[in-house]
Amino acid sequence: MKDRAFEKKYEAARKEYRYYGVDTDRALRRLRKISLSVHCWQADDVTGFEIRKTRDACVSDIRPTGDFPGKPRNIRELRRDLEKTLTLIPGRHRISLHAIYGDFGRRAVDRDEIGIEHFRSWTDWAKRLDIGLDFNATCFNHPMVRDGYTLSSVKKEVREFWIEHVRRCRRIAAFFGRELKTPCLHNLWIPDGAKDITVFRHRHRQLLRESLDRIYAQRFPASQIVDSLESKLFGIGSEYYQVGSHEFYLGYAMKNKLIPCLDLGHFHPTESVADKISGILPFFKGLVIHVSRGVRWDSDHVVILDDELENLTAEIVRADALERVYLALDFFDATLNRIAAYVIGVRALLKALLIALMMPDAGLQALEKTGNKAAFLARHESLKNLPWGAIWDYYCLKNNVPTDREWIPGL
């Protein structure tokens, strides 16, 4: 009876969309092909499983807030939570790991020592679930973040440490790609920058360029690894500037045939990442979007279905770039149930994609060509009343996951 009720609602919604020339069945087929990269670090507040060799002071560049009970204490519990999360999200998706999530056992392994052997159990797990893995070098929260710098440090021993770390991470990423038969996205972000006025800005960027040249000198087949560089405007302890700025990485990526990564929280609050899509894609083979939600600053709040997210997915669909844009989640909030945070965020992104796939752009384009701005804006606003929620419920039903009102914890 329940299934039939959802199917009846879907049929009514499908007829409504058909009036605007939209094939909802086709939209659902396209949505089913999209594989999001779900980040592992929401599950445990970006803690990881490292055992430190020394008790040197650690510079904290990532600061989740909250202490909600139930945080996984080991790899087994982390994987359990990730598996549960995937059962509540329609579609087939990937898991993104940071280097601090290796299977280190009880051994202290520093970041310039990590290797494929520490991640074999992850590929075994991924094969069992039939999913892909992505990877990230972890260049933060470590004693070798000296004076706020890593790959761009003026201290050679600091640069050498992090160069070796990222080199090893790329080898691990290529291993994932080979083992799982799907290219592994390896993303690089560094916290380097200055808290206040500096005259060394140019020098640090020269050093970063030299470090990157050495890191990316080793090439891997495109079937194994996709390399991206993630920029940022500012961060805690680097309010004045960040070495890896948008402009720096955009130029470096273009010259070296890498792809840029845009994080929704890494720009000025009044900047639109959606607007950057059509400005960047014509010049790159691909693009990575880290889907997050900044509240006044890069605070990595749980993603919700807001205007910014809808604008972003609409631009990707309008550019016919679903196969060129890698969508990866990146938020962490320890003030609420961590699995619920995953489900809220990932489902919000999928909903935004569904809305974008069902947007009757042909009709809007025809109106825009007439120059009748009032008619265009009125039609654009009226489309917000379309019954996309019934389509979403049907999609969940057909993917054997609970609808929104069924999965919510505690209700």
User: How far is Cα 102 from Cα 346, in angstroms, rounded to an integer?
Assistant: 24
Exposed/middle/buried for residue 313 (C-beta within 10 Å: 0-12, 13-18, 19+): buried
CA dihedral 140, 304, 351, 275 (to 10 degrees): -70
DSSP helix/strand/coil, 293: strand
Catalytic residue among 165, 290, 310, 333: 290
103: annotated active-site residue: no
Residue 231 amino acid letter: S
384: annotated active-site residue: no
Catalytic residue among 300, 315, 333, 393: 300
Catalytic residue among 227, 230, 333, 393: 230
Catalytic residue among 186, 204, 232, 351: 232
Residue 38, both tokens: 């779900």
DSSP helix/strand/coil, 273: helix
| CA distance to 142, 161, 185, 186, 225, per residue, from 123 (Å) | 26, 26, 15, 15, 15
Contact 76, 63 (CB under 8 A): no
380: annotated active-site residue: no
Catalytic residue among 45, 50, 263, 315: 263
330: annotated active-site residue: yes
Residue 395, CB-side half-sphere exposure with 13 Å CA sphere: 29
195: annotated active-site residue: no
Only one residue has tokens 């990937």, namely: 94
Supply the DSSP string of 158-193, one letter for each residue.
HHHHHHHHHHHHHHHHHHHHHHHTSPEEEEE----E
Residues 6+ apart with CB under 8 A from 65: 333, 334, 335
User: How far is Cα 383 from Cα 385, in angstroms, rounded to an integer?
Assistant: 5
Catalytic residue among 61, 192, 330, 333: 330
263: annotated active-site residue: yes
Contact 281, 319 (CB under 8 A): yes
290: annotated active-site residue: yes
268: annotated active-site residue: no
Catalytic residue among 39, 118, 142, 266: 266
Supply the DSSP string of 313-348, one letter for each residue.
HHHHHHTT-TTTEEEEE----TTS-HHHHHHHHHHH
118: annotated active-site residue: no
Residue 393: CB atoms within 10 Å: 22
Contact 222, 207 (CB under 8 A): no
Catalytic residue among 122, 162, 189, 392: 189
Catalytically active residues are 189, 230, 232, 263, 266, 290, 298, 300, 330
